[in-house]
Amino acid sequence: MSVSPSLNPHVSVDCVIFGFSKETLRLLLIKRTVPNSLTELDDSYYALPGDLVRDNENLDEAAARVLKELTGLSGIFLQQFQAFGDPMRITKAKDRAWLQGVRQDPDARVITVAYMALIDSNKVQIEPGSFSKEAVWLPISEVPELGFDHNDISEGALMALREKVQIQPIAFELLPEKFTMSDLQTLYETILERDLDKRNFRRKMLNSGVITALPEKQHGVSNKPARYYVFNRNLVENGGLGFVNLKMEGSFTMFS
């Protein structure tokens, strides 16, 4: 299999796609399509979704293309967070074997630009891409050894996510359109890996203006039904809310 002339053999994008379900932060991984000649590569060859950059597209367009091909979605949260260019990033034997089967120049040094994406994993119909035969959601605690330096990339994305959710209202991208305050706090606690004071969290969120209470409450629950909330996306995106540093007593800096 040769590389299309429209692909730059030295620059790629890789996407770290986070989802959240069953109170667990998850990562979307692919199983690489393995040529028949590479019998030494088994079905456990997981990697991040990505591709070489086409000559007629910029980096953002390349990352959006990879996401669109895999999830069928466009216009979702997608943000560049780091570039990876270690000369040794493609030297593992398994990676070398795969490259020799799918790349015209397997020895070419490839610098990859990494993107972080946040989506509601419960509403996505995954479609494996051209270089993948299967895509799976795995809890971040169960991510196996990945191809190339993709473990380093995914860990870098997780660190970036933990920093950004404290100063920007991006965590809402992982939730359904309506959610309870408990859902929201569980999401933050899962990402940050620490407990947050319930009363303080609720007060800061309501005072921030990024959420609005709905008249609707939960149905069919054994305990007291909780109220639903929605994210004020238009207000945030149109600049109606500024960002200031607020200390959540003993917890984290949060947006307002």
Indicate the pTM of the whole model: 0.85
Q: How far apart are the first and last CA of the chain?
A: 52
* 34 or 73, higher pLDDT: 73
pLDDT tens by residue, 17-49: 999 998 999 999 988 766 555 555 555 678 999
Do 69 and 130 touch, CB atoms closer than 8 A? yes
Pairing between β-strand 253-254 and β-strand 246-247 as defined by DSSP bridges: antiparallel
CA distance 158 to 161: 5
The average pLDDT across 225-253 equals 64
In degrees, to the nearest 5, what angle opens at C-alpha 15 toward C-alphas 138 and 118? 70
Do 212 and 240 touch, CB atoms closer than 8 A? no
Amino acid found at 78: L
Copy the structure tokens of residue 143: 């991510």
CA distance 15 to 25: 16
Domains and CATH numbers, the chain: 7-164 (3.90.79.10), 171-254 (1.10.10.10)
